[in-house]
């Protein structure tokens, strides 16, 4: 089993800056996002020799982040790390969505025409199974909501706990163990 998992959210995009839900729309990084991603190379440098598995969402913003961080040559594209499919809510802000559906909550309702929470749980569990089969340190380059869901499941919590783990663009989190207990070692680093 992986000793630790380092999760990496892609750098800033036009839609992440404007807080628009960006699921399957394949946006590039902004120059700010490219700077964030390049800075990850130094921040992740200490992990380089211990990394046994690098998984990356196939979406452009995650791939660019992985490349600029220096792990593209070791990365395996992983469909299960794609961002939550927001369906009819793709490209909208939470304020715009709640103008239509005042009680909407992604973590409990999912998105019409997109994914339900249980769909994302199934994907996250497949990623966690890959990590369980690996040794050393694993890296996951992906997106805010799917990484927050993955974190909740790593910590043996319900997916709804993912709402409590805000993850900034270009930030990392470290998931580890304290003896047999899964723990959150670092967040938004």
Show which residues are catalytic. 10, 83
Distance of alpha carbon 145 from alpha carbon 184, whole angstroms:
17
91 contacts: CB under 8 Å, gap ≥ 6: 15, 20, 21, 22, 25
Distance of alpha carbon 87 from alpha carbon 108, whole angstroms:
15
Distance of alpha carbon 139 from alpha carbon 38, whole angstroms:
16
């Amino acid at each position: 089993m992986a000793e630790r998992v380092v999760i990496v959210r892609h750098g800033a995009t036009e839609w992440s800056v404007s807080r628009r839900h960006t699921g399957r729309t394949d946006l590039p990084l902004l120059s700010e996002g490219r700077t964030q991603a390049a800075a990850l190379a130094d921040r992740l440098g200490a992990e380089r020799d211990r990394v046994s598995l690098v998984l990356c969402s196939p979406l452009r913003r995650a791939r660019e982040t992985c490349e600029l961080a220096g792990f593209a040559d070791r990365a395996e594209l992983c469909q299960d790390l794609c961002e939550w499919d927001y369906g009819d809510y793709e490209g909208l802000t939470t304020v715009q969505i709640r103008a239509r559906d005042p009680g909407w909550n992604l973590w409990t309702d999912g998105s019409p025409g997109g994914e339900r929470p249980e769909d994302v749980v199934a994907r996250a569990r497949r990623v966690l199974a890959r990590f369980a089969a690996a040794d050393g340190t694993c890296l996951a380059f992906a997106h805010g909501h799917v990484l927050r869901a993955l974190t909740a499941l790593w910590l043996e919590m319900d997916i709804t706990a993912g709402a409590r783990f805000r993850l900034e663009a270009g930030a990392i989190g470290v998931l580890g163990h304290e003896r047999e207990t899964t723990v959150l070692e670092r967040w938004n680093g």
